Amino acid sequence: MVRRKRHGGEGSMANRIVWIPGGWKRPFIASLCATLASCTTPANGQDAAQPLESRYTLLDNCVVVAAGIEPIDHVRQRCDGWGGIPVWLQYTDAARLGVGFGYPANTFGMFSIERHPSWPVEWRGPVQDGVFQPIAAIIRMNDYATAPGEPDRASLLVFRLTGDGMSCPLSFDAGDNEEARRIADASLREYRCLSRSP
């Protein structure tokens, strides 16, 4: 049986958020937006001068949702992110790991499967009407070592939560936490996705 942990109460139904076109919102706000047929989102109409904030979750409540050996050995895990936003981990050949956010499942990159369990996912976004609305996620991963005996090197990845409910990478190698936050915050106004692999 999988035990689910709460992080600051975001796992409760009252605090979970759902995706509607334009962003992730609490169920009440999402239903209100649907009724009104419009809704202001962080990516559309949000005051760019408003400071963005951080929230944190750990990847400690993951479940296997797919596995197989064709065409290659693979295992996909779904973890609960902030407000229930899915975090996807795709293990390939028991050696490489891809990561992505949102729904449906999407993963990017080729990283080492070795990852320290204490490394959190940092979510960046504005607070609207007292509700945190994430627009980006920052996650630390170890680079995939291609040479035998080569040590892993940790990198900070920045992902944008896109308007279709999924994600795309903005940076595979931010220099430090502050740079990663700057990249994430700048995507509030505009952004350009990178290719699938670093």
Q: How do residues 20-33 score in pLDDT, each as one tens digit? A: 545 555 554 444 34
**Top-confidence range, 50-54, 130-134, 148-152:** 130-134
157 domain residue, yes or no: yes
User: 5 pLDDT exceeds 80?
Assistant: no
User: 98 pLDDT exceeds 70?
Assistant: yes
90 domain residue, yes or no: yes
Span 157-194, pLDDT tens digits = 999 999 899 999 999 999 899 999 999 999 999 999 98
Averaged pLDDT score across all residues of the chain = 79
Q: Which carries the bigger pLDDT value, residue 134 or residue 37?
A: 134
198 domain residue, yes or no: no
Residue 166 structural domain:
42-186
Structural domain total, the chain: 1
Give the tokens for residue 22. Answer: 């334009």
19 domain residue, yes or no: no
SS3 readout for the chain: CCCCCCCCCCCCCCCCCEEECCEEECHHHHHHHHHHCCCCECCEECCCCCCCEEEEECCCCEEEEEEECCCCCEEEEEEECHHHCEEEEEEECCCEEEEEECCCCCCEEEEECCCCCCCCEEEEECEECCEECCCEEEEEEEECCCCCCCCCCEEEEEEEECCCCCEEEEEEEECCHHHHHHHHHHCCCCCCCCCCCC
113 domain residue, yes or no: yes
Span 59-73, pLDDT tens digits = 988 999 999 988 889
4 domain residue, yes or no: no
11 domain residue, yes or no: no
User: 118 pLDDT exceeds 80?
Assistant: yes
143 domain residue, yes or no: yes
